Amino acid sequence: MAETSQLTAAPAGLPAVSRVTLLRIAIILTILVVWEATAASGLLFRDVVPSLLVIGRAVLSVLTENDFYWHLGVTAGEVGIGLLIGGVAGLVVGIALGANRFMSQAFEHFLYYLGPTPKIIFFPVMIMWFGVGPGSKVAMGTISCFFPVALSVAAGMRQIDEVLIRVGRSFRANTWQMVTKIYLPAMRAPIVNGVRLGLGVAIIGTLLAETKLSNRGVGFLIINSYSTFNMPRMYALLIVVFVLAIGANALVSRLGNLEAIKAR
């Protein structure tokens, strides 16, 4: 019985995959054709929907500019430092909240309710504290990624198998040993997930801050192309940023999965 179902499933599976791919190609082609037709028809304001050729050329010109890579480096540095500070702080706070029931009852609801507030509204304060330079953007990245990491780690701590913790205690592990030998390895998945979420919001926080007030970074390039009404360039920059952000997100979750597989 099982064999027959396998036999019938196998040949049916193959064309299904290629049909999906075909459909994907069809959807993309349809979107591109509709886009190009809209661009050619002049129904919308000129330049709001530029021709694909123009956007393609703009992507190429963005990717071949040395200037772009300098700005990308600035943004990457800001996001990286923000993620580092916010991530480590989130990890420490998350472990403290997750390990101690009393601390969690006393303070976790602050984080829980502050988490879904729009972080960008702190930007004026961050400018006053850290200046208009990269400092305030790093601060935005830090604030943004702190909450998801802390909440994810705190939740992860509570899911750790009680047996593992008891094993650690019975070996008389001190706090540092408990953290490095028991807690961290046991919560790889929630940590990776927290970092993934944190990276996403850190990118958003940093780039939004750059669009608001900055003279460098990719966010600045985007808002600059808006103020000079260079729409093809804006599309090009957005495409590049989206590809990089989604790629970084996929990379982090891939890393998490790989480690999980190795651990088995």
Q: Which of 113, 191, 179, 117 is nearest to 155 (CA)?
A: 191
For position 116 contacting other proteins by CB under 8 A, the verdict is: yes
Among 242, 251, 255, 260, binds other proteins (CB under 8 A): 242
Site for other proteins in 18-37 (CB under 8 A): 19-20, 23-24, 27
Among 85, 93, 186, 204, binds other proteins (CB under 8 A): 204
Other CB atoms within 10 Å distance of the CB of residue 68: 17
How many Å apart are CA 115 and CA 180, to the nearest integer?
27
How many Å apart are CA 160 and CA 163, to the nearest integer?
8
| Nearest distance, CB of residue 9 and other proteins, angstroms | 15
For position 220 contacting other proteins by CB under 8 A, the verdict is: no
Angle at 229 between CA 205 and CA 200, to 5 degrees: 20
Contact pattern from residue 35 through residue 64 relative to other proteins, giving x for each residue in contact according to CB under 8 A and a dash for the rest? ---------xx--x----------------
Q: For other proteins, which stretch binds (CB under 8 A), given 31-39, 65-73, 82-90, 116-124? A: 116-124
How many Å apart are CA 90 and CA 98, to the nearest integer?
12
Q: For other proteins, which stretch binds (CB under 8 A), given 32-40, 66-74, 164-172, 205-213? A: 205-213
Site for other proteins in 68-107 (CB under 8 A): 102, 105-107
Other CB atoms within 10 Å distance of the CB of residue 47: 13
Strands (E), 103-161: none
CB 84 within 8 A of CB 146: no
How many Å apart are CA 84 and CA 78, to the nearest integer?
10
Site residues (vs other proteins, CB under 8 A): 16, 19-20, 23-24, 27, 44-45, 48, 102, 105-107, 109-110, 113-114, 116-118, 120-125, 127-129, 196, 200, 203-204, 207-208, 211-212, 219, 222-223, 225-226, 229, 231, 234-235, 238, 241-242, 245-246, 249-250
